[in-house]
Amino acid sequence: MSTLDPTEDIAVDALTRQAAQWIERRDFGNWSEEDRAAFDTWLAQSPAHRVAFIRLETGWKRSELLSALQSFRPTPATPAPRRWWVIGGAAAAAAIAVAAFGLSGAFDLKKPQFQTYATTVGGRETLALADGSEIELNTDTVLRISNAAHGRKAWLDKGEAYFKIKHDAAHPFVVIAGAHRITDLGTKFTVRDEGSGIKVALMEGRARLDAAGKTGPRSVTLTPGDVALATPTSLSVNKKPAEQLKKDVGWEHGILTFDHLALSDAARELNRYNTKKLVIADAAAGRLTIGGTFATNDVDAIANVAHEIFGLHVENQGNNIVISR
């Protein structure tokens, strides 16, 4: 068994206290991006820092050592007997192993802890959060929500979601979609991944949209009726009547409302909810406009309108309904 020099014991104590302070700030404080950057810098300073943090983090998760964390506040260091963690030569070996492992997998300290939710094509799901907020997921959507204490943060990886957020000025709710960030200021809003960018529609309250772009970040504060479209090259905001915004979230109740919408656009929208797809075979047919309210799962209704009202040719081809002149 290796022996421990008293100065090494003091150093281990100091690192442990530092690691405990980082855990306490992350789990019980107002953890910010600046805190994250400072924490990453501290981790990179030495393999011993990473080892100290991993060991304490593991012990914290296994036994919920709240009282131990509180007692680790800085005090004058004095020589102490060997603690429960491995030290001396074994610690050095562990540091080398962790460095070689690259902090990947179970030791990826930069990877946020989150819960993932997903809906199928045509599916919907309502999430009730502990803070009283509610999130409704639309068809074919993937959303991750932070599990960290005060971690009011979600990542929209795919699809569309309607956020009904209980405002907390001390811990604002943040939605990250691609390279863009939406911060709740007491809000009901939708976020939709458009492929080339995101669309944010604000129903109530206010929200700040921080949009990343090739020319640098851009920000705008949205008010009720604002519909923002953010792409890598542009950020635009238009107004919509409140009644139209309500229609736009009709998918909450399984319906879509089209108001003089091009047939090609109506087909594209309905196809988001169905595995059987509408295919508009020619541009002239696609330019015809359609209006009305349709069930999200009723592609045949659009096909019937195309045939009976517009006199278009409709043909079933497996999982496609082809509409043409």
Give dist(CA 187, CA 200) in Å, integer: 12
CA distances from 177 to 32, 93, 156, 183, 195 (A): 18, 41, 5, 11, 11
CATH of the domain at 150: 2.60.120.1440
**pLDDT tens string 162-188:** 999 998 888 899 999 988 999 998 889
Give the domain range for residue 143.
114-241
Contact by Cβ (8 Å): 270, 296: yes
Q: Which of 107, 140, 169 lies at the terminal end of a domain, its last residue?
A: 107
Residue 14 one-letter amino acid: A
Q: What is the pLDDT of residue 57?
A: 62
> Has residue 136 been placed in a domain?
yes
Looking at the structure, do residues 165 and 230 belong to the same domain, yes or no?
A: yes
**pLDDT tens string 100-149:** 444 444 444 444 578 899 999 999 999 999 888 999 999 999 999 987 76
Q: What is the pLDDT of residue 82?
A: 40
Which tops the pLDDT comparison, 112 or 156?
156
**pLDDT tens string 59-69:** 554 444 444 44
Percent of residues in the chain assigned helix, strand, coil, to nearest 5: 35, 30, 35
The tally of domains found in the chain comes to 3
Contact by Cβ (8 Å): 184, 167: yes
Q: What is the pLDDT of residue 217?
A: 76
Q: What is the pLDDT of residue 10?
A: 53
